[in-house]
């Protein structure tokens, strides 16, 4: 079940959208719970009444047909067996190239986009790279890290993933928010402030990976308009929003990219010196404009 907070936030977002990107990637906890919301988003793109809330849009025929799974300008792809095959993508492209008979926008949804096999992924990529007017893609996955990097970078990411409360107690949230705020304020002078206190909480590689994961969630959360909420505790979102309100979106994205980069290093490089690694991390983080 989705919580109301997430759902309402999402509808607000959809309502206020000025334009649509040609490809979206939705990251979700599980497909079934989130699919109605994603389908509603597809309706906002297709429906002439600009369907933006969970109530029926004036009973229009298009939304009705979408609900019945019977609308020709909405195409849904899902794995055929264990993965999504190139033929499925080519078939989709062929159908979309025929154009909508009534001039409507066309939307394709790819469920479990992480199961695109490499050649299917490449065919889709070509399609996303040269978008045609009136055609919009919605990809869905439970883990964005399993999506081909080239596809990921061309999609507008919308994360509907929930924070997991057991991984995220309030003290660690506040600690990490303080870390981000301090880096932002002190920039290249951050290190001396962080050394005595902050680093004591992260003594092992596992501690640091956990902290990186949590910062990723924090930043993802605020960059993606707070769609992710802890289903039990939506106040976390408010704490994050208030704490980071002075940091611009482009700076937040900069931090997020550094965190992901350093997390990958930490995971892939064996036997690195954790102290030096953390110093390097802080220095790189402070290079924000």
User: Concatenated DSSP letters for 61-117?
Assistant: HHHHHHHTT--TTEEEE--BTTBB-HHHHHHHHHHHHT--TTS--EEEEETTGGGB-
Closest approach of Zn ion to the CB of residue 58, in Å: 7
Q: What is the four-CA torsion angle of 51, 116, 156, 287, rounded to 10 degrees?
A: 160
Phi, psi dihedral angles at 74 (to 5 degrees): -120, 120
- Under rule CB under 5 A, residue 281 binds Zn ion: no
Q: Which is nearer to Zn ion, 47 or 208 (CB)?
A: 47
- 49 vs 93, beta carbon nearer Zn ion: 49
Q: Which residue has the tokens 């909508």?
A: 100
Round to whole Å and give the CA distance between 219 and 226. 9
Q: Which residues contact 196 (CB under 8 A, 6 or more apart)?
A: none
In sign, the C-alpha dihedral spanning 253, 254, 257, 258 is negative
Site for Zn ion (CB under 5 A): which residue of 2, 21, 31, 49? 49
How many residues contact Zn ion, by CB under 5 A? 7
Q: How far is the CB of 40 from Zn ion (least distance, A)?
A: 10
Span near Zn ion by CB under 5 A; candidates 41-49, 111-119, 136-144, 238-246:
41-49
Candidates 22-30, 60-68, 99-107, 196-204: pick the segment binding Zn ion (CB under 5 A). 60-68
Told to check if 60 binds Zn ion by CB under 5 A, we report yes
Rounded distance between C-alpha atoms, residue 131 and residue 20, angstroms: 12
Output 31 or 65, the one with its CB closest to Zn ion.
Answer: 65
Nearest distance, CB of residue 66 and Zn ion, angstroms: 8
Helix (H) or strand (E) holding 209: helix 205-223
Closer residue to Zn ion (CB): 51 or 108: 51
Here's the x/- map for Zn ion, 62-101, by CB under 5 A: it reads as: xx--------------------------------------
Least spacing, CB of residue 135 vs Zn ion, in Å:
19
Rounded to a whole number of angstroms, the minimum distance from the CB of residue 48 to Zn ion is: 7
Instruction: Work out whether 57 is an interface residue with Zn ion (CB under 5 A).
Output: yes
State the nearest-atom distance from the C-beta of 39 to Zn ion, in Å. 12
Residue 50 or 265 having the CB closest to Zn ion: 50
Backbone Cα Rg of the chain: 21
Strand order in the sheet with 135-141: 74-77, 106-110, 135-141, 23-27, 156-159
Residue whose pair of structure tokens reads 């003594």 in the numeric block: 203
Instruction: Write down the least CB distance from residue 51 to Zn ion, Å.
Output: 5
Phi, psi values for residue 155, rounded to 5°: -105, 150
Smaller CB distance to Zn ion: residue 47 or 155? Answer: 47
Q: Which of 14, 28, 42, 47 binds Zn ion (CB under 5 A)?
A: 47
Using CB under 5 A, list all residues that contact Zn ion: 47, 49, 51, 57, 60, 62-63
């Amino acid at each position: 079940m989705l919580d109301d907070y997430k759902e309402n936030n999402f509808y607000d977002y959809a309502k206020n959208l000025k334009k649509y990107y040609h490809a979206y990637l939705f990251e979700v906890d599980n497909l079934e719970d989130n699919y109605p919301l994603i389908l509603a988003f597809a309706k906002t793109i297709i429906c002439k009444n600009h369907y933006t809330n969970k109530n029926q849009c004036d009973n229009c025929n298009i939304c009705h047909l979408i609900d019945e799974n019977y609308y020709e300008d909405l195409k849904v792809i899902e794995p055929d067996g264990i993965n999504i095959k190139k033929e499925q993508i080519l078939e989709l492209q062929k159908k979309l190239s025929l154009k909508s008979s009534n001039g409507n926008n066309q939307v394709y949804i790819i469920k479990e986009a992480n199961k695109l096999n490499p050649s299917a992924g490449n065919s889709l990529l070509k399609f996303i790279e040269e978008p045609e007017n009136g055609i919009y893609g919605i990809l869905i996955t439970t883990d964005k890290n399993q999506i081909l990097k080239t596809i990921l970078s061309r999609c507008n990411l919308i994360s509907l993933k929930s924070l997991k409360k057991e991984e995220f107690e309030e003290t660690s949230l506040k600690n990490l928010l303080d870390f981000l705020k301090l880096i932002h304020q002190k920039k290249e002078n951050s290190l001396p402030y962080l050394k005595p206190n902050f680093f004591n909480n992260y003594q092992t590689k596992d501690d640091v990976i956990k902290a990186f994961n949590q910062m990723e969630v924090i930043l993802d959360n605020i960059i993606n308009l707070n769609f992710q909420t802890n289903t039990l505790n939506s106040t976390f979102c408010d704490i994050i929003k208030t704490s980071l309100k002075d940091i611009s979106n482009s700076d937040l994205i900069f931090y997020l990219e550094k965190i992901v980069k350093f997390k990958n290093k930490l995971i892939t490089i064996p036997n690195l010196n954790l102290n030096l690694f953390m110093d390097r991390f802080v220095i790189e983080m402070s290079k924000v404009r």
